[in-house]
Structure 1
Amino acid sequence: MKKFIYKTNQYLLENHPIIWNTKLFWVASASLILHILFFIFGLLAITNPEILHEYGAKSIFFENGTIFISIILSILILVIWLIFLFKNNAFKNFYPTSKLKLFKQFLIYLIITFLSTTFYISYNFGVKSYISFKYDDKSIEKEIAVSNAAALFFSKSIEDYTINQRRYPHPFNTLYCETYEGSDRDNDRLYLSFLDYKYRFYTLYKKEGALYQELSDSTYRGFVFYKTKDTIRTYFYKDSIFDASSFVQTTNPNYFNYSKIFYLSKKERLKYDNIQYGHNEYNEYEYYNYQQDFTKNNALWNKAGYDLLNRNNSDEIKQILADFLMISDAYEIEHNLTTGDWFNMVYHPNDNFELKKLIRDKPKGEIQFEAVEPKTAMADFYKKHITDYYLDTDSLYKVFDNIEDIKESNPFSESIHFFIWFAFFFSALVFMFRSTGLKPLLFTIISIGILVVFVTLLTVFYTYVNKYNQENTQYFASYLTFILSTIILSIPIFYAKRIKKLIVAICLNISIIGFVLYVFLIITIISLHQSDACIRNYSFYTHNKDCFNLLKSIGIYWSYILFIINLLFIYIYSGVIKKWKALPEG
């Protein structure tokens, strides 16, 4: 091994001195080995399906402690690398060099730092690879479809099966149901009742308007719900009372009323109604109507369950329940159901498929509020119909959500911005130390602190003088920082021979690490002016288009743009650094 190391170092020294001097080969080799190991750890991280029972399984890197191992290894690699790197500094000892060689050194520092700190990316690619292989798209789609069919019989909440949830058949898909408790309200005309609850259906009429039209035009107020598509908002209002008694066989909770879906996959969401719906926040009876859904999707989901019950095929229903329990067992979902027991609880065709028994979310005794004596008719109904059977459907929902979330994730794009900028600033510090030395670097840190305090104090004073005018304060702080930054940036370029070498070195270091912030500041100032111009030209109610904003228009891609600009700056500025090194010490 020693012989191999010696021969490799000798070859690099003779043929690639920069790679030898920066120890790129050895650090990159060690980092790549660790990346492979972290990828393998990621493959093994979610082999236990119970990990998928909680939200955020994609973040298991942080949850299981792997992050600490990653940080420790990164620190060890960087510390050992720096020890060997500082043994020989060609630039410090006035060895022949060039602007290109200086820039190459900085790029190598950047690559080494990036490779030795990005184990998170490899680990999460391992997690994603395992999930994609273990749970292929076709299998997951089938499991979600079975779960959605079985959700009709989950029998968890009474409110999911009451008559106000009915959205199919016609005319229920066109009606609005007002729900309230008690009596003596408007003579209780044409209502349906269950326990203390009254359900009254209304036909609807609608008006089209712009977004937030109800805020500026009182004629649009009083709606029960609205739907929004693009910039058009359609408001729906109660018209006349509708007698729905002839369309309802029973007002008791029953499976025909169920109009929800258990899990809507991201792929399936594209097929359904994507119009935004909202309720009237000032509706007097909003509390009771909150569970009423108005989208046409609910009518489609209600129809699927309605048609299944109308077919009254016991074998089909049994198969749905059996398949669902098989899926639950595969994901280690807690339950104590058997296909036969579950089927007997829900299959009551002679009683119009009424809700006879309720299933718990957790085993009996784990939910504290069950010990409280019922104080309402609904609570009494719940107590009489609840069983000792339980089914943790919430965990299964999280399983599907985690699987889809991990499959859709991109560990590289989701974290690359943090890692490239961390690598840049760390590499910049190393480059500054290698270029100017320890003393200028320490004075640079002190100088930055003084400048920050100076700008902050001046800004506070200006804010006080201008009676806390926030808009003017933003411009003052921005332009003051811009002026100081421009002076610091120009000193090494134009005044290096006229100013003390240490002061020039401090300005060099601030420019190296702060140029990207300088460019970002310029972009921010331009964007501030654009935003103010937009506000002056458009009011809250009348503006119907987005104003161009330089910062917002490109968004996250500014990170890449600024990074490339910064690399070009470092390349150009390497020539300035070389000229600074040639200056006399006096």
Structure 2
Amino acid sequence: MQKLNKFNQYLLERYPTVWNTKIVWMLLAALVFHIVFFIIGYVSHIDPVSLQKYSVKDDYFKNGVIFVHLIISILLIVGWLLMMLKNNAFKNFYPTSKGKLFGQFVQYFIIIFSCTTFYFSYMTGFRMFINNKYPDQEMAKNIDIINRTAPFLSQNIESYTLENRLFPKPFYDLYCENNIEKIDRNKKFFVYYNRVYQYYTLYSKKSYQKDKKGNFIPPNPEYSNKIQPAYSDEEEKFETFYYKKDVVDLSSQIQTTQPSFYNFSEIFYDYDFKSFDDGVGAVDANYYDKNSPDYILKNKKAIINQKTAALLNSKNSAELEKLFEDFLSISKTYRVRNNLNAKKWVSMIYSKDNPNFEVRYFIKDYGGKTRIDEDAYYEETVAVDSVVVAADYPNENDIRDSIKISEFNPEINQQLAPDKYVKNNTTEYYYLSENMKDLLKNVDSVKKDDFFSDNVHIYIWIAFFLSTFIFGFRITGLRSLLFSVISAGVLTLSITLITVFYGLTFRGQEEFFVAYFVLFIGLIILLIPLLKMNMTNKMVSSVLINISLNGFVLLMLLIFAIISLHQKAACQIPVTHIDYDYTYQNCPNIFEDLGFILSYIILILGFVFMYFYTAILQKWKAMPE
């Protein structure tokens, strides 16, 4: 205790501002709690099961840790204020320079920021644990095993139908048409129950012209001849349209039209394509069209298809069993629930009476007798007798004659519908594949996502506004601060009423009126203490000073908003592209162009303003009461 008193005395004599703000003790206290939150983050997800849910990064806010964070932050800041407010050199007319005043404000900011940012320590500990527990090399090896095993889980019949196939090469290059109405019945097609497949070569054309709605117009003569594109790929300045050319007979490559392991081409997990599955993190065939020109993803899917075909063609049950054992070992390590057995699993795939490796058994993706989502396997309800297809190109209301599926598949009434086929062949084996996907996604998300840049701005501005508020209180006192809050509220209400009156009376340009009116009021409040402080009494000046201290950065934000409004208004003029001679709207936006950099720009402007405004504070303090 004696050493602490000596250290305090040393600070008082050598660094009175540091002693007064208590920054040394507050930073030490904050450091202790940052270490505590780091440890909490490190041990929070030791159990792999805790990673088997959506977005574990949000657990800080969902599991109540944020409330502990808030309580500790409030206690630290309140305790700091109680200690600091015992002494106020400026209020008691002790000599204080402009630099010392600004230094106090900066120290307030540092103290509050350090006492409110425990989230970053938690996430740093969490990330360190994930990096240690799930190293990159081990994860890459495990993901490869998982992706090579996933084709044999047979949990969704839609993943094994013919249109999914990408290997060998003809399937990769050709377009698979499965719309019954668009099938050429005079050329080779393939049938599975109520589905028809036909393979085409393609040719492509680019379009640079847009219609009044901003949609690219398909090229001629195809558009004039009402030839519908197979699909299209839209870029920022053009759209590529792909048209069917010739039918190709793939009878030599297709041994069966039934759902087969040869057709599987999905990627169970790939973090690079997490956005392709609504943020879950794994690639989903329901989203991805295999004919999309996204060649990176398509190549990866084709590789999965090729590896699966190679395993099947080798007919080496021992090799497949070893793969399954490795997969189940990984699942056990990650505690993913399942009741699979490698040998019995292999026996469901390899069979002498199943040379084409058709999918004859299905593994549940849920444990227990029933599942919450009853439409797991076959979500589409289809009519057996006929299919009516609406032609939506170019006229959506043009409905063609009904095409009976029996014309393509005369034996359909003797065949088992896919949903009934799945129901009849579902085993008691299960594997919670979604849990594995969530775990892999969360591991990569914690490792790679930038949690600092996404959240730091919230804490920066909390610290800045609390600092200006406390600084204003230290300078002008509680009475002036309360009058400032009341005045700001009355001013806000008045501006709102005037804006409503303007909108009802004049109509039009309300955004510009509000922006410039608030800017005008803000400049008056800001300039009176700068230019005409002596013309007002000390209380009025203190109110204007407090509003200026807390509102300057908001005024800067308003100026950027006004610039954005003018950019939006000027954007109505179309621009002609020099190379391709087509028109488009060039709409720059300062908020989109600068992004989060704007936050740092305004913060720097705020600190610069506070530095120069300390001279006004000294001038105000010298005024008579």
TM-score in same-fold range (> 0.5): yes
The reply to whether residue 485 of structure 1 matches residue 522 of structure 2 is yes
Which residue of structure 2 aligns with residue 37 of structure 1?
A: 36
Give the distance between the partners of 1:411 and 1:534, measured in 2 at CA: 34
How much has 1:212 moved relative to structure 2?
Answer: 5.8
Which residue of structure 2 aligns with residue 361 of structure 1?
A: 365
Contact 1:41 1:126 in 2 (8 A): yes
The reply to whether residue 307 of structure 1 matches residue 305 of structure 2 is no
How much has 1:233 moved relative to structure 2?
Answer: 2.6
Contact 2:234 2:240 in 1 (8 A): yes
The alignment partner of 1:247 has SS state of coil
Contact 1:176 1:201 in 2 (8 A): yes
- Shifted more, 328-337 versus 216-225: the winner is 216-225
Give the distance between the partners of 1:288 and 1:453, measured in 2 at CA: 51
Contact 1:179 1:288 in 2 (8 A): no
With normalisation by structure 1, the TM-score equals: 0.90
- Report 1:381-400 matches (<5 A): 381-400=421-440
Contact 1:178 1:289 in 2 (8 A): no
Aligned with 1:551 (options 591, 594, 598) = 591
Summarize the Cα distance change of 1:364–1:411 in structure 2 as closer, same or farther, 3 Å threshold.
Answer: closer
The alignment partner of 1:208 has SS state of strand
Give the distance between the partners of 2:135 and 2:182, measured in 1 at CA: 57
The reply to whether residue 254 of structure 1 matches residue 253 of structure 2 is no
Give the distance between the partners of 1:228 and 1:238, measured in 2 at CA: 18
Contact 1:167 1:257 in 2 (8 A): yes
How much has 1:100 moved relative to structure 2?
Answer: 1.0
Give the distance between the partners of 1:163 and 1:185, measured in 2 at CA: 15
How much has 1:339 moved relative to structure 2?
Answer: 0.8
Letter of the 1:169 counterpart:
P
Give the distance between the partners of 2:565 and 2:253, measured in 1 at CA: 60
Letter of the 2:77 counterpart:
L
The alignment partner of 1:497 has SS state of helix
Give the distance between the partners of 1:39 and 1:211, measured in 2 at CA: 56
Letter of the 1:504 counterpart:
S
Give the distance between the partners of 1:193 and 1:306, measured in 2 at CA: 22
How much has 1:453 moved relative to structure 2?
Answer: 1.4
The Cα offsets for residues 390-434 of structure 1, whole Å up to 9 and x where unpaired, read as 011111111111011000133332221111110010011100100
Greater helix fraction, Structure 1 or Structure 2: 1
Give the distance between the partners of 2:103 and 2:356, measured in 1 at CA: 79
- Shifted more, 117-126 versus 53-62: the winner is 53-62
How much has 1:554 moved relative to structure 2?
Answer: 1.6
How much has 1:176 moved relative to structure 2?
Answer: 2.5
The Cα offsets for residues 271-300 of structure 1, whole Å up to 9 and x where unpaired, read as xxxxxxxxxxxxxxxx99986554532333
- Report 1:205-224 matches (<5 A): 205-210=203-208, 215-217=216-218, 219=220, 220=223, 222-224=228-230
Give the distance between the partners of 1:158 and 1:120, measured in 2 at CA: 44
Which residue of structure 2 aligns with residue 460 of structure 1?
A: 500
Contact 1:152 1:305 in 2 (8 A): yes
Which residue of structure 2 aligns with residue 448 of structure 1?
A: 488
Give the distance between the partners of 1:545 and 1:288, measured in 2 at CA: 34
Give the distance between the partners of 1:306 and 1:164, measured in 2 at CA: 16
The reply to whether residue 12 of structure 1 matches residue 11 of structure 2 is yes
**Which runs of 5 or more structure 2 residues have no equivalent in the other structure?**
276-284, 383-416
The alignment partner of 2:327 has SS state of helix
Summarize the Cα distance change of 1:371–1:155 in structure 2 as closer, same or farther, 3 Å threshold.
Answer: closer
How much has 1:161 moved relative to structure 2?
Answer: 0.7
How much has 1:539 moved relative to structure 2?
Answer: 8.5
The Cα offsets for residues 121-158 of structure 1, whole Å up to 9 and x where unpaired, read as 11110001110111111111111111110011110111
Give the distance between the partners of 2:311 and 2:589, measured in 1 at CA: 53
Give the distance between the partners of 2:364 and 2:623, measured in 1 at CA: 80
Give the distance between the partners of 1:580 and 1:494, measured in 2 at CA: 12
- Shifted more, 321-330 versus 231-240: the winner is 231-240
- Shifted more, 19-28 versus 544-553: the winner is 544-553
How much has 1:94 moved relative to structure 2?
Answer: 0.9
The Cα offsets for residues 233-274 of structure 1, whole Å up to 9 and x where unpaired, read as 3211233444333321111111111111111133999xxxxx
Which residue of structure 2 aligns with residue 197 of structure 1?
A: 195
- Report 1:224-373 matches (<5 A): 224-228=230-234, 231-266=237-272, 292-294=290-292, 295=294, 296-297=298-299, 298-348=301-351, 350-367=354-371
Summarize the Cα distance change of 1:370–1:508 in structure 2 as closer, same or farther, 3 Å threshold.
Answer: closer
Contact 2:575 2:585 in 1 (8 A): no
The alignment partner of 1:428 has SS state of helix
The alignment partner of 1:252 has SS state of coil
The alignment partner of 1:346 has SS state of coil
Letter of the 1:315 counterpart:
A
Which residue of structure 1 aligns with residue 558 of structure 2?
A: 521
- Shifted more, 229-238 versus 339-348: the winner is 229-238
The alignment partner of 2:348 has SS state of helix
Give the distance between the partners of 2:562 and 2:179, measured in 1 at CA: 55
Give the distance between the partners of 2:142 and 2:288, measured in 1 at CA: 30
Give the distance between the partners of 1:288 and 1:550, measured in 2 at CA: 37
Which residue of structure 2 aligns with residue 162 of structure 1?
A: 161
The Cα offsets for residues 318-361 of structure 1, whole Å up to 9 and x where unpaired, read as 22111111111111001000111111112247521111110000
Letter of the 2:531 counterpart:
F
Letter of the 2:463 counterpart:
A
With normalisation by structure 2, the TM-score equals: 0.84
Give the distance between the partners of 1:211 and 1:324, measured in 2 at CA: 51
The Cα offsets for residues 39-93 of structure 1, whole Å up to 9 and x where unpaired, read as 1111101101111100111222112211111110111111111111111111111
Aligned with 2:513 (options 460, 464, 476) = 476
Contact 2:147 2:304 in 1 (8 A): no
Which residue of structure 1 aligns with residue 420 of structure 2?
A: 380
Letter of the 1:351 counterpart:
P
Which residue of structure 1 aligns with residue 149 of structure 2?
A: 150
The Cα offsets for residues 168-209 of structure 1, whole Å up to 9 and x where unpaired, read as 21322232223357x998758633222232223333332222
**Which runs of 5 or more structure 1 residues have no equivalent in the other structure?**
270-286
Which residue of structure 2 aligns with residue 83 of structure 1?
A: 82
The reply to whether residue 426 of structure 1 matches residue 466 of structure 2 is yes
Contact 1:348 1:354 in 2 (8 A): no
The Cα offsets for residues 551-586 of structure 1, whole Å up to 9 and x where unpaired, read as 33221101111111111110100110010011011x
The reply to whether residue 497 of structure 1 matches residue 497 of structure 2 is no
- Shifted more, 344-353 versus 40-49: the winner is 344-353
Contact 1:180 1:288 in 2 (8 A): no
The alignment partner of 1:366 has SS state of coil
Give the distance between the partners of 1:152 and 1:177, measured in 2 at CA: 21
